[in-house]
Structure 1
């Protein structure tokens, strides 16, 4: 703190130690002062809740809550990105929301509503559990569904809240509302978001919708080597941002508004809004403000037990607004179950019934299960809106997860109630019905699921069902086995991120593990084709050696990469140097390593050459290898491909893939390896002109219209 107003910090004190146990950068990212004069602290998923956090925190005790979890995802504890709130003296700490991956920053809008920008897991691209980088509206007790590995929740789960805006593959950094600056409308009401990966600042416009918002976004600023690390508005009203990171050139920039020149241009650009439309917008904003105020009144019961809360909150379990239902349901959960259990079981309105039963299921009391399942049976599932059906299916799942396996009679009743719905016209309903019916061991669920794989409209759908049925040993027919293994052969054309190959390998391993000897004999030709395909994938053709290039030789030639280059030769060089084996640029290549499509927006030509020739100088922490010292003295270097509660699967070679399993209790010490997984010398198979064409291709993002090709 600056206690004597001399612009120098003269008081430094530790408010709270936060337990960070990783090296991937998913730590404590930002501290922001809220409009309530409280400190808000945002942390990634490698930070545990601190000791002494308030027991009545709005967000408590996150669980994986998956009906059919992937065993390889098993970890020792559930850690999620979260947001803490504390007073200026750090006396009381609360967790207000969680279920994030690695949110970088926080920002409050003019209404005092909180937002964060959460990172995707780009290694999951192409898999059904991939979640794009997203802007989240953060509310009291908000659950946003990020979990480890394959366990990420779909956003239609009723016990979570959806994304407010998806921005796809991005690297979220700074976040700031224009209300802190002196920019005119529409910039004044916009949210500005830094995207390090694409070298740009996004401008988000928000429209109130019920108790939350909808958003649209566009590019406010972008350019070459504009890897934005953070941004803020200064006391002069200008937007300041800083660039750099991972060894690249850093810089501080300012964007200011020239009122004299800007007013006329804005006046000319803004379309005049008809008066009647303006009236509609005013009414919309008034209605939305009332809905947010109502949500806040419901949230007051998230941290206290009050018998009067039940009658006050209950009507909003039937709200069409998901954000109000979520706030109301959480308020009910905070009250004594004896005060509302019977009311939940007797509720007849479908939307209110599923919300109340969801609260009852989440309490995890086994003695309530049979009555809860009977209440679910009364719902008119066939006529429900898809969103209401999904809510009901989630209640069934949470009952089995938290209250335990059903009795024989309850199981039979659930199968009878759900079986006729599968397959459903809704893709998402099919996913949850498949999950439930496999858990309940319903007859013929496997052949029906295989048909969904065969007719899947996306690879993500096919992989979702494949992962579930692959682990099942019962319920197969010869025809369904044949069709399923044919689908695995067809899946060879699928593409995805760094973990995609592991996920598909696990599905194949699980499927083969369920086969009897007779099954293997029957499917021998298909199994041989799968094994042959894996061998072909691992075989990497080598281009002939040209020269052992040195840094000094090539850096002196870099000015020639600025013009007169060949786009086609650059594209060929990308493949010849094995870049596309791990990386993607545009529509070419793999998602195994970082996407290079916008790498030219982050790095200049010199930095690009350095990252190719000296890959170990700056290593992205997500791709850095680890060094494991075992209790028998063995040293293993690689990356953890799969992390289990007791076993690590370590990838010791990416080209071709080689793995080894190690028991966690055999590991004496883990440290960072200083060697990049990307080999050096890749350009030694290229001529000088090919290297310069490669640099130009990377800098341009593969755009043949770039100035380097003139």
Structure 2
């Protein structure tokens, strides 16, 4: 059954007993299929182990053989053949135009290491060679089909933490080259200064000391001309986006990775489809410092997809398939062995989304996808030394498609097109400096549409602040003024600090709606982070302005206002925060408040210390990803530093319970026990698939 999930799915998928049994069986059988003695024919996952939506069929065109490496990226050349990026060393070529049963394979390069991206364009092969730490161009200068000229276009320093290096390469509708870089690739400083994504910082009001020791690298998207003479960072604040695609409206999208170790924690970000705009800031930072979606100086995801390992992404508008299947995007998930059909729904100047399962197999470690000259979808499997295969998905006239897709009213399409055109105009201003006419973007800072407001803010930032600083400081519209103050904090100088602070003080935060409160709170944060610490008098005024908001029924307000009040050392902040650690609060809020309180060294009473120790005891039952235990251990260690020796003696029995090793039985869960699975339980299912 194909499912259609609107917006945010659950973080984890719960399988039925039968489905889980068969999935494990398929995984085991997949290993058996791809394991063979040296010299024997190797076979990728057979199509019998792949399920695709009605109306389509899958063909396995070729399996990688010994000596052909594992295939991790692909591109079609000008003859309709396939260029392959190889997992270990080199670039391969598959001549799919050759008649006969076997598709010939050859290596056309034997030096580039770990080629995560290849692109044939402008009579060249562009190669993203992560372990060679460079972006290269291959050219055939003699016309004999041999790519004899090798040129390093851009060295890119790769400092591996999790293997998030240079990834796929895409040809844009502007005929420019787009390179996707994960968060282990250092952003070249000389490029970033002139880019639309510029002046990015961590912008943490209360840095977590346990996140120290890591630099401020983030994933980003690089644009360059075909000759590799000019480079431009389009957007950043991503984690490990592997591919990008342009839809029929020439809008750019990427598929970004999550950090599954963060599951169950407020800084967890699911795998996501991101709409990429010039200057876009998407908020990924190291450790616990990932920006929440409600920071107004960042952009939210278009569609969250839960757990997975994003790889290939293609737009369906170039497919020669029924119209319904041309409307969406196809997103490959390496971990779960599936391709998702993502429908983009116009919402203001951007999009929302829905998705449904299009294809899945076990194992089916899809690395990349492309639309062929025949209008069909091709994909390759491989990665991490695993067995590779080349597959093609075509229309099956013997079955009728059942997918309908979302109904989008023509009015929404028309309005969306109009609003995106406006946003694109403001996007273009980011590459024009010094024209006062560009300040026509100023009124848009007060628009409700977040994407319009963000692009207008970036356009304003790009102009010399002398043109617009008086406008923002005198503006009485809270939405427009707050957004403008964020821009001034980002590009201003320390001399602006008292003026920004005075402008913020003109607004009564308690009388503003939630969205405007969040904008003003972020402006306060950036005023202190970027322009300078508050004076004693400013501290007094800021506490008076912000404290009426805390605590709140909104977790976002508790997070932002709470951090500000801790930073300002408001008396009584501990007592005001402790009630937010009760069982009624979500696990996310409890972890944020607990982490926040570790920055408070004074003002703890005997009661608040006892309450926090009891929270530490309860937190042992929290469930989440691999790093949850580490985060809780850090909070516990930090709190013990706050306690005096007398405190530790008074609460010795409770501390002893907190410090006990956690046994599996200590963790509570609302999932019912089904069965203690053993390998023998699966034998009968395995025999079905192997017979």
How does the TM-score come out when normalised to structure 2? 0.75
Rate the CA distance shift 1:374–1:23 in 2: closer, same or farther, 3 A: closer
Offset at 1:364?
4.7
Q: Deviations over 1:594-636 (max 9, x none)?
A: xxxxxxxxxxxxxxxxxxxxxxxxxxxxxxxxxxxxxxxxxxx
Output one character per residue of 1:297-331: Cα deviation in whole Å (capped at 9) or x when no partner: 11122123223245311111011111111111111
- SS of residue matched to 1:142: coil
1:534 aligns with 2:661: yes
2:673 is the alignment partner of 1:572: no
For the 8 Å contact 2:436–2:467, the answer to whether it is kept is: no
Aligned positions of 1:302-321 closer than 5 A: 302-321=430-449
Equivalent residue for 1:350, pick from 463, 473, 478: 478
Is contact 1:570-1:694 (8 Å) kept?
A: no
1:339 aligned to which of 458, 467, 470: 467
Structure 2 partner of 1:283: 411
Between Structure 1 and Structure 2, the one with more helix by share is 1
Picking from 316, 328, 344, the partner of 1:178 is 316
- Quote the residue 1:429 is aligned against: 557
Cα distance in 2, alignment partners of residues 220 and 257 from structure 1: 13
2:169 is the counterpart of 1:169: no
Q: Does the Cα contact within 8 Å between 1:211 and 1:288 map onto a contact in 2? A: yes
2:545 aligned with 1:441:
no
Distance 1:359 1:435, change over 3 A: same
What corresponds to 2:222 in structure 1?
84
Aligned partners of 2:551 and 2:628: how far apart in 1?
A: 27
- What residue number does 2:652 align with? 524
Give 1:152's aligned residue.
290
How far did residue 285 of structure 1 move?
1.5
Task: Work out which of the residue numbers 342, 364, 370 in structure 2 matches 1:226.
Answer: 364
Q: Quick check: 1:245 aligned with 2:349?
A: no
SS of equivalent to 2:343: strand
Separation in 1, partners of 2:324, 2:143: 35
Return the offset for 1:694: 6.8
Q: Residue 194 of structure 1: CA displacement?
A: 0.4
How far the C-alpha of 1:456 sits from its partner, in A, is 4.2
CA contact (8 A) 1:456 1:462 kept: no
Q: Partners of 2:162 and 2:684 in 1: how far apart?
A: 30
Deviation at 1:249, TM superposition (A): 2.9
Q: Distance in 2 between matches of 1:255 and 1:129?
A: 37
Distance in 2, matches of 1:227 and 1:171, equals: 10
Alpha-carbon contact 2:156-2:185 (below 8 Å) kept: yes
Separation in 2 of the partners of 1:378 and 1:695? 72
Match of 1:28 among 154, 166, 170: 166
Higher relative contact order (CA 8 A, sep 6+): 2
| SS at structure 2 position matched to 1:420 | helix
1:381 correspondence with 2:494: no
Partner of 1:125: 263
Partner of 1:43: 181
Picking from 52, 66, 81, the partner of 2:204 is 66
**Which residue pairs with 1:407 in the alignment?**
535
1:222-279: per-residue Cα shift (whole Å, max 9, x none)? Answer: 1221221111111111111112333443221111124x546xx35x8759x9xxx98x
Structure 2 equivalent of residue 98 of structure 1 = 236
Residues 15 and 444 of structure 1, relative CA distance in 2, 3 Å threshold: same
3-state SS of the aligned residue for 1:12? strand
CA distance in 2, matches of 1:431, 1:694: 47
- Structure 1 residue runs of 5 or longer lacking an equivalent are 540-567, 574-689, 700-705
* TM-score of the two chains, using structure 1 as the length reference: 0.73
- 1: distance between equivalents of 2:223 and 2:473? 35
Q: Take 1:106 and 1:458, find their aligned partners in 2: how far apart are those partners? A: 34
Q: Give me the CA root mean square deviation.
A: 2.7
Assess, with a 3 A threshold, how the Cα gap between structure 1 residues 54 and 446 changes in structure 2: closer, same or farther: closer
Counterpart-to-counterpart distance in 1, 2:169 and 2:514:
40
Q: Distance in 1 between matches of 2:189 and 2:247?
A: 30
Structure 1 partner of 2:103: none
| Counterpart selection for 2:523 from 395, 404, 407 | 395
Unmatched segments (≥5 aa) in structure 2: 1-123, 125-138, 667-671
1:362-386 per-position Cα deviation (integer Å, ceiling 9, x unaligned): 1252222222112112223223221
Secondary structure of the residue that 1:219 maps to in structure 2?
A: strand
Instruction: State the Cα distance separating 1:707 from its structure 2 match.
Output: 6.8
Q: How many residues align?
A: 548
The whole-number CA distance in structure 1 between the counterparts of 2:426 and 2:357 is 36
Structure 1 residue 23: Cα displacement: 5.7
Cα distance, 1:536–1:341 mapped onto 2, change above 3 Å? same
Partner residue in 1 for 2:631: 503
The verdict on how the C-alpha distance between 1:306 and 1:109 changes in structure 2, with shifts beyond 3 A counting, is same
